Amino acid sequence: MAYDPNNIFAKILRGEAPSYKIYEDAKTFAFLDIMPQARGHTLVIPKTEAETIFDVEPDMLAAMIETTQELAAVVKRVVEAPGVMIAQLNGAAAGQTVFHVHMHIIPRWEGADFKLHAREMAPAAELKDLQAKILAALP
């Protein structure tokens, strides 16, 4: 399947769709998932056209992982989660719903189930508040 430049993450990168941005550098962009599986669910994407981990250049993949590592610690601290799950899905059969390679940072609490992937939108006020807290906690 060829990369679709009209996928929602490509539109977010071009500023054509809104997002709750929490980080951006020359190679990566990170924002809160509007349909979070848990409070603080964050997505990290590379600034390149790649559908899956198999399509992304190694330097962009490294940048995506570095950003994920840095942000996971901040998000975990801000939402006071004892754990964090890092997920990366490749292809529809694996559960990928947006075909632009990305990492999920999902805070976890023992005994707490997380919501189903891409099912329920979080309230905008909640996302805006969390965005402000994460931005304030960044180094």
102 catalytic? Reply is: yes
pLDDT in tens, 119-131: 789 999 999 999 9
Non-local CB neighbours of 118 within 8 Å, separated by 6+ positions = 35, 97
Is this prediction's pTM over 0.85?
A: yes
Q: How far is CA 15 from CA 21, 44, 52, 91, 100, in A?
A: 11, 16, 22, 25, 16
- The residue-averaged pLDDT of 31-36 equals 96
Residue 116 above 80 pLDDT?
Answer: no
pLDDT in tens, 129-139: 999 999 999 99
Domains recognised in the chain with CATH numbers: 8-137 (3.30.428.10)
Given the residues 100, 102, 104, 117, the one annotated as active site: 102
